[in-house]
Amino acid sequence: MRSMRLSGFAAPHYLCGVDLFSRSWAALRTAVAELPDEDFARPSGCTGWLVRDLACHLVIDAQDVLITLVTPADTEPTRTASTYWDITATPPTGEDPLDALTVRLAAAYGEPWLLKFHLDDVGSAAGRAAKLADPGARVSTRDEVLTAGDYLMTYVMEWTLHHLDLIAHLPHVAGPPVEGLTRSREMLEEIAGAAFPASFSDTDALRIGTGRRAPTDAEKTELGKLGELAAKLPLVLG
C-alpha cells in the first residue's frame, strides 16, 4: 500500500511544488501548441467540451494563477494542496453556466492559432510568476488561504488531469509527465483516505478515481477488496 503524505512534507525524492508545477504546465502547453487545427474540434475528456473548450479553460486557469499569486494573505492557511478541493460525487454534465460560458468564449476565438497564441502568452506569464513565487508565502483564493507552494501543487493535479482530458481522444499526443502523474495519484489518495490498487497505473487511478472513466469489471473487483474506497468513488474535484 502506498504511504500517505501531507502535501507540505517534502520527501527527498519529491520535486518541489514549483518544479512539478513548471514541468506539468510546460508539458500541457506544449501539447496544445503542437496540435493540428483539426484536433481542436475533437472531443476532450471533459463532458460537453471540445479540445478548443478545454484549451480556453486553460487560459482561464492561467489567469487564476496570476491573480492568486499576487493576492497575499496575512492569516494562517485554511487549506492545503489536498484539502483545497471541494468534493462531490456527481460528474459534470457540461451544462453548468460557467462551463457553457467557456464554450462560448472558445468559439469566439474563431481560429485555433488565436487560442494557441493567447494560451502561450498568458500561460508563459503564469509559469514565470510561479518560478518567482515564495513557496512559503500565503495567498488567498476562493475565500481560502494557502501557502503559495500548496496552491501551486493543487495545479499539478489540475494540469495533470486536464492533460489526460486533452489526450482522451488524441492517442497520438504525448501524455503528462510521469512525476506529475505520480504526485497527483498520491494527492488523490490523500483526499480519498485510501490507496488505489497497486495494479492500477497512475493514469487509470486518476481517471477512475475522478470519474473520467468507469472501471472495468476486473477493476471493480480490485476496488471492492479495499472496502470503503469503492463507495467513495468517483471523487469529483471542484
pLDDT at 32: 98
Task: Kindly state whether residue 69 falls inside one of the protein's structural domains.
Answer: yes
Task: Kindly state whether residue 182 falls inside one of the protein's structural domains.
Answer: no
Mean pLDDT of the chain: 91
CA distance 86 to 107: 29
Task: Kindly state whether residue 230 falls inside one of the protein's structural domains.
Answer: no
What is the CA 138 to chain-centroid distance, rounded? 21
If one counts the domains in the chain, the total is 1
pLDDT at 228: 83
Task: Kindly state whether residue 197 falls inside one of the protein's structural domains.
Answer: no
pLDDT category of residue 133 using cuts at 50, 70 and 90: very high
Residue 4 has pLDDT above 50, yes or no: no
Residue 1 has pLDDT above 70, yes or no: no
Instruction: Count other Cβ atoms within 10 Å, centred on residue 178.
Output: 11
pLDDT at 9: 36
Residue 11 has pLDDT above 50, yes or no: no
Task: Kindly state whether residue 210 falls inside one of the protein's structural domains.
Answer: no
More confident residue, 75 or 230: 75
Instruction: Count other Cβ atoms within 10 Å, centred on residue 160.
Output: 29
Q: CATH number of the domain at 105, please.
A: 1.20.120.450
Task: Kindly state whether residue 79 falls inside one of the protein's structural domains.
Answer: yes
Residue 3 has pLDDT above 60, yes or no: no
Residue 6 has pLDDT above 60, yes or no: no
pLDDT category of residue 107 using cuts at 50, 70 and 90: very high
**pLDDT digit string, tens, across residues 184-236:** 999 999 999 999 999 999 999 999 999 999 999 999 999 998 888 888 899 99
Give me the domain span that covers residue 59: 17-177
DSSP single-letter state for residue 14: S
DSSP single-letter state for residue 215: P
CA distance 188 to 237: 10
Q: Are 108 and 42 in contact (CB under 8 A)?
A: no
More confident residue, 89 or 221: 221
pLDDT at 100: 87
Q: Are 16 and 140 in contact (CB under 8 A)?
A: no
What is the CA 101 to chain-centroid distance, rounded? 20
In sequence order, which residues have a C-beta less than 8 Å from that of residue 89 and are 6 or more positions away? 232, 234, 235, 236
Least Cα distance to 160 among 63, 41, 32, 20 occurs for 20
Task: Kindly state whether residue 132 falls inside one of the protein's structural domains.
Answer: yes
Within 13 A of 234's CA, how many CA atoms are on the CB side? 18
**pLDDT digit string, tens, across residues 134-192:** 999 999 999 999 999 999 999 999 999 999 999 999 999 999 999 999 999 999 999 99
pLDDT category of residue 15 using cuts at 50, 70 and 90: low
Would you call 76 helix, strand, or coil by DSSP?
coil
Residue 95 has pLDDT above 80, yes or no: no
Task: Kindly state whether residue 214 falls inside one of the protein's structural domains.
Answer: no
pLDDT category of residue 41 using cuts at 50, 70 and 90: very high
Residue 2 has pLDDT above 50, yes or no: no
Q: Are 32 and 149 in contact (CB under 8 A)?
A: no
pLDDT at 238: 86
CA distance 153 to 123: 16
Average pLDDT over residues 14-20: 74
